[in-house]
Structure 1
Amino acid sequence: MRRTRASERGASRRRVLAGIGAVAVTGLAGCSGSSAEGDYDVGMTPTAFDPRTITVATGETVVWRNTSSRGHSVTAYDSGIPEDAEFFASGGYETTEAAREGYLSEFGGRIDSGETWSHTFEVPGEYEYFCVPHEQAGMVGTVVVEA
């Protein structure tokens, strides 16, 4: 069977497009909020939570993963959570001040690179939180919990 120039160009074009498609699919691998090390909802870059705001349903658990090389914390603002909500902070602290003191004195509540920390949100409302060592750099976030 003899190929014409048009059929050769068509075959060549299909090979190129197939190659581009394979590269695109490979390049998109891992672009969701998960990694080979496990799923997470909020990543921690050197000085930011990513995403800064996340919306979940009542009863859902949010998982933070330190995706940077710096140590971080997740600490609620006492005045930034719904009235009936449980306070949350990596390290298990019961107040914002206790979490600050614990981190600054002995790195209590520190989440190292690659580690995760999670909290389940049972009360609807907005929860404002921050990273103790990077708060001044603007590392703050919000969890919106819908009923």
Structure 2
Amino acid sequence: MHDPSDWSRREFVTASLLGTGAIAGCMARGQPTDANADDAPRCLDEWLADANAYEGVIDRYGPDDTPEVTVGDAPGDGHGYDAFGPVAIRVPPGTTVEWTWSGRSDPENVVALDGSFDSGDPVATHGETFAHTFEERGTYRYVSEPSRDDGMRGAVVVADPPESDYPAVDSWLADVNTYDGTVVDDVDTPSPIVTVASAAGERPFTFSPPAVRVGVGATVRWVWRGNGPHNVVFEDVDVRSEVRTDPGVGFEHAFEEPGVYRYACDPHHTLGAKGALVVEEE
């Protein structure tokens, strides 16, 4: 048995968190869980339930993204700077995540429960950085040691991006939280509808559905919900709508040529406001 005076920082963090019961049944000795396991979402929800600034959103990043997490982010007015921002992220295997210190908090650090990464002693220097490359799939929970009891905890989910039969769609929508690899089949619908800034899913700025399969000649209609300025701008053709806020059908376009058409909302594309159309012969 360890003498407490000989415990390393990492052992102390792991033992303390396991002792809280917050992750009981979800992991043993802090080992990452399989991100695709049946109990992974439940376990992660339990882990993040008391995390400062967590609002139920796991920010997703694609293979070409470089995720950055702020150390010392503000969870809200009057609550100081004792949060990671974003609290939870999902990245593909092989992604390097970088933590950057805001300089607004007390000295903090970044320590994984399973010992896979550790930024060292707590610091409070603005611009300080720490990076780690995640090669193995799994769910990695971490804390800042000085503020672990105050809710400064985070998670990195390492999982493959969603896949469909359309690689161009998958790569374009890899960082869209509401995309799960489903391409909705509206080939037999003459006027398919896409909702702009849908309330569906984890983000209020997403297109719903994010990916649709339509027939050649179909006129696709984009319907605004009236919750902010949005537009529709295509990457593959010179087609775009005006920025508008009023609810109702705000844009429509007929697609006469087969192909994959990618589009986004200019003001919110970094927040997951991206979509794709697969136009095929019926």
Render the CA deviation track for 1:108-127: whole Å, top value 9, x for unaligned.
Answer: x1122313210110110100
**Does residue 87 of the first structure (1) align with residue 238 of the second (2)?**
yes
1:40 Cα deviation from its structure 2 partner = 6.2
| Structure ID, larger Rg | 1
In structure 2, what is the equivalent of residue 103 of structure 1? none
Render the CA deviation track for 1:43-80: whole Å, top value 9, x for unaligned.
Answer: 01231000001111001100001114111000001xxx
In structure 2, what is the equivalent of residue 131 of structure 1? 265
In structure 2, what is the equivalent of residue 122 of structure 1? 256
In structure 2, what is the equivalent of residue 144 of structure 1? 278
Contact 2:192 2:219 in 1 (8 A): no
In structure 1, what is the equivalent of residue 48 of structure 2? none
In structure 2, what is the equivalent of residue 112 of structure 1? 245
2:231 to 44, 63, 73: 73
Aligned residues with identical type, % of pairs:
32
Unaligned runs of at least 5 residues, structure 2: 1-190, 198-203
Q: What SS class does the counterpart of residue 72 from structure 1 fall into?
A: coil
2:196 to 44, 51, 66: 44
- Count of residue correspondences: 84
1:61 to 211, 219, 237: 219
C-alpha separation between the residues in 2 aligned to 1:66 and 1:57?
23
**Under a length normalisation based on structure 2, what TM-score does the superposition of the two structures give?**
0.28
C-alpha separation between the residues in 1 aligned to 2:244 and 2:212?
19
**Under a length normalisation based on structure 1, what TM-score does the superposition of the two structures give?**
0.53
Contact 1:43 1:64 in 2 (8 A): yes
Higher helix share: 1
C-alpha separation between the residues in 2 aligned to 1:58 and 1:136?
30
Contact 1:111 1:117 in 2 (8 A): no
Letter in structure 1 aligned against 2:193? D
C-alpha separation between the residues in 2 aligned to 1:64 and 1:43?
6
Runs of 4+ residues over 2 Å off in structure 1: none
The RMSD of aligned alpha carbons is: 1.6
C-alpha separation between the residues in 1 aligned to 2:274 and 2:231?
11
Q: What SS class does the counterpart of residue 275 from structure 2 fall into?
A: strand
